[in-house]
Amino acid sequence: MKTTYTITQAQQQLPAMVKESASLGMIPITRHHETVAYVVSKERMDSIVETLEILAQPETMHHIRAYERGELNFHSVDALNDDR
């Protein structure tokens, strides 16, 4: 399984690259030994878009940062039943 393609190889082997990206997530395409593009699987792209959507939500990011600072307390779902 090839993990990097040159532009010339990509032009000749696009169907194989698309199939391969499904298992690898993404495949770099190079020009003169420098990555210039990627073929990205749908699953990987969906993950990237979801991450960008989360990063664009200030309130969500506030809570994530609070968690990272150890400022949030978590309780088990069973604890909800104890509040009767």
- Confidence band, pLDDT 50/70/90 cuts, at residue 75: confident
Task: Specify whether 50 is located in the same domain as 64.
Answer: yes
**pTM of the predicted protein model:** 0.68
Tokens standing for 72? 């949030």
The range of the structural domain enclosing residue 10 comes to 1-40
Residues 47, 62 within the same domain: yes
If asked whether residues 32 and 58 sit together in one domain, one would say no
- Which CATH number goes with the domain that contains 12? 3.40.1620
16 and 30 assigned to the same domain: yes
Looking at the fold, whether 11 and 22 belong to one and the same domain comes out as yes
Mean pLDDT throughout 55-65? 94
Residues 6, 31: one domain? yes
Residue 54, token pair as written in the block: 């989360």
Number of domains in the chain: 2
> Is 29:35 a contact under the CB 8 Å cutoff?
yes
| pLDDT, tens digit (0-9, with 9 covering 90-100), for 2-56 | 789 999 999 999 999 999 999 999 999 999 999 999 999 999 999 999 999 999 9
